[in-house]
Amino acid sequence: MAEQRALNSGKKSSVLQDAAALTTQLAAGLEKIGLAMKSRTWRREGRAGLGPLQRQVLTLLRSKPGQRAKVSTVANELAVRLPTASEVIATLERKQLVRRRRDMSDGRIVMAQLTAKGNRSCTPSSRMPDRLATATEALSAPEQVVLLTSLVKVIRSLQEQGEISVARMCVSCQYFRPNQHDNADRPHHCGSLNVPLGDRSLRLDCHVYEPASTAQVNEAWANFTGSRTA
């Protein structure tokens, strides 16, 4: 009997070790991809006189309506301190890639807007997502959906740990209603577009995104993950 208990204990320990090793390998793989993409961007854009954070600011502004945003918004979305964001934007302004203006309705608010030159300087970076998209084409359609939903969970966990800022993704948007429809292919609903959504249509950076309250996010997340744990 004691030998059986020892054997079961050994098997349990082995399973736990395998799980720990798997999460370590997954983390290492994601880190390797991130470092490779960042290094590639640095090699290409560094020669043009743009650092990684400067590139991120330009890309973020390019994605905004009117290609403009509050300096505080830039800091929050890139998870940097406000003085850091202000310094980077000032540097980009000296390079004539960005212009700063006081908000007309509130002079305390500083807005940063992309210039025509700044917009043109963003264009080369579009190759990087294309390379990643090509790489994900090696996955089957079901595998791509699993990867997307897994990335949503990873990003959510990193947000809760305070490691990254709030992403403009469905599960933290006030318009997202998970598992509202009986259709297994498209169970979710987007209140902004008024259309049903499937897991394959989830967005990690949506142009109609509006942040939900903490209570809304927690409820949506519980409903979103509930169908996967039931």
Run means of pLDDT, 10 residues per run, the chain, 230 residues: 56 56 76 67 57 85 87 86 92 93 80 90 58 82 90 85 75 92 92 92 84 90 72
Q: Among residues 51, 165, 42, which one has the least CA distance to residue 97? A: 51
Q: Please answer whether residues 180 and 220 qualify as being in contact, where contact means their C-beta atoms are separated by less than 8 angstroms.
A: no
Cβ–Cβ < 8 Å for 90, 96:
no
pLDDT computed for residue 93 by the predictor: 94
The pTM (predicted TM-score) of the whole model is 0.61
CA distances from 161 to 16, 52, 154, 158 (A): 23, 23, 11, 5
Q: Fold for domain 48-124?
A: Arc Repressor Mutant, subunit A (1.10.10)
Per-residue confidence (pLDDT) for residue 128, from 0 to 100: 53
Chain-centre distance for alpha carbon 194: 23
Predicted local distance difference test score (pLDDT) of residue 126 = 44
Per-residue pLDDT, 215: 92
Report pLDDT for 181.
93
pLDDT of residue 157: 86
- DSSP strand E in the chain: where? 68-70, 98-102, 110-114, 176-177, 188-190, 195-197
Token pair of 94 as six digits: 């000296």
Instruction: Mention every residue, 6+ apart, whose C-beta is less than 8 A from residue 84.
Output: 53, 75
What are the boundaries of each domain within the chain?
A: 1-47, 48-124, 139-230
Rounded to 5°, the CA angle 71-85-33 comes to 115
Backbone angles phi, psi at 19, to 5 degrees: -65, -45
Q: Contact 176/170 with Cβ under 8 angstroms?
A: yes
Q: So what's the pLDDT on residue 187?
A: 94
pLDDT score of 25: 77
Could you give the 3-state DSSP secondary structure of residue 74? helix
- Which phi and psi angles does 176 have, rounded to 5°? -85, 130
Helix (H) or strand (E) holding 188: strand 188-190
